[in-house]
Amino acid sequence: MKKLFVVLMVAVLISSALFATAQAESTAMPEFIEIGTAGTGGAYYPIGIAMAEILNTKLGTKATAQVTGGAVENIRLIQEGSVKIALTTTSSAYRGLKGVAPFTSANPRVAGLFSNLTQGVYQIAVRRGSGINNLNDLKGKRVSLGPQGGLGVELSSYVFQAAGFTINDVRATFLSYEESATMMMDGNLDAVIIQTALPNPALRQMEASGGKFDMIGIPEEVMQKVIADHPYFAKFTIPASMYGTPSEIMTLNSTNMAIIDANLSEQVVYDITKALFESIDAIRSSQPGAKQFNMKDAAQMPIPLHPGAKKYYIEQGVLVGGN
């Protein structure tokens, strides 16, 4: 009997030790933090690099910005655990969490970290001399829709459909923004569709290299149709000074945000959120489109905040009553 009691006590102690170890591991800051961005020629990548540098400096992690297919693919990467943080759009985050098309199932590991980072502007750049003067002229032309899995591909399908044609009516390719701009400058593409903050780095590089391109807008009636079916998009005006166009360009946009793995502990996400906002100027200066990024707007989003992020925002007074 005494021997049995000793065995049971040893078992209890071992179980307690294992539980304590597992609990400590679950609340410990991960050694590696992958941040899903998009292609190197987009706005997400430099922002992701800035975030990684902040976390490495302040939290001692080994955070890295990962090149991905962009906003839509980043939802899947969070869900499968390939990245712990990712940049996406508010529309993709909402639909990804709920499992609304283009997602075939819900992605419950998607949680909010911060929103209103930059404006993801839909931009159609066309090679000068390509004969493309309006949206319908894209039919039959060589068009890069950006990386597969990016919001630009999805939004193009909505825009084209509202204009009376489909992606199948253009000679579509799916390349990074950087590669797309290079190919258009070399005469191997007629148009490049980009969904990033302004200005797009790949187009800026093309300008600096002497590449000539024009921008085309979206007709009012087409924008109205897209917004009626997908109200998370909004009208947006690209200033003429942005790319030296003769006039303003009317288009659509979607707000960009950061999501985080819901499986991370409250303390870990609290520490990550705190570190990022204590170095907010580094994020603002990483990309021109992020200059207006601020904590108050960051807490407003269409999906639930991770409890760790929510705790930080409440402490800072930007969520009154936790809302």
* Residue 105 to residue 87: CA distance in whole angstroms: 20
pTM of the model: 0.67
Q: What is the pLDDT of residue 196?
A: 87
For 123-166, what is each residue's pLDDT tens digit?
999 999 999 999 999 999 999 999 887 889 989 999 999 999 99
CA atoms within 13 Å, Cβ hemisphere of 190: 17
Output the six-digit token pair for 201.
Answer: 């780095």
**pLDDT at residue 16 greater than cutoff 50:** no
Strand 171-173 and strand 142-144: pairing?
A: parallel
Residue from 197, 273, 221, 246 nearest 41 by CA: 197
* Structural tokens at position 108: 């419950």
What single DSSP character describes residue 128? T
- Structural domains in the chain, CATH included, are 29-118+257-322 (3.40.190.10), 119-254 (3.40.190.10)
- Give per-residue pLDDT as tens, 165-193: 999 999 999 999 999 999 999 999 999 99
List Cβ<8 Å contacts ≥24 apart for 288-296.
288/197, 288/198, 288/199, 289/43, 289/118, 289/119, 289/196, 289/197, 289/198, 289/199, 290/43, 290/47, 290/117, 290/118, 290/197, 293/116, 293/117, 293/118, 294/116
- Could you report the per-residue pLDDT of 27-79, keeping only the tens digit for each? 789 999 999 999 888 889 999 999 999 999 999 999 999 999 999 999 999 99
Binned at pLDDT 50, 70 and 90, residue 323 comes out as low
Q: Enter the DSSP assignment of 306.
A: P
Cβ atoms 113, 268 nearer than 8 A: no
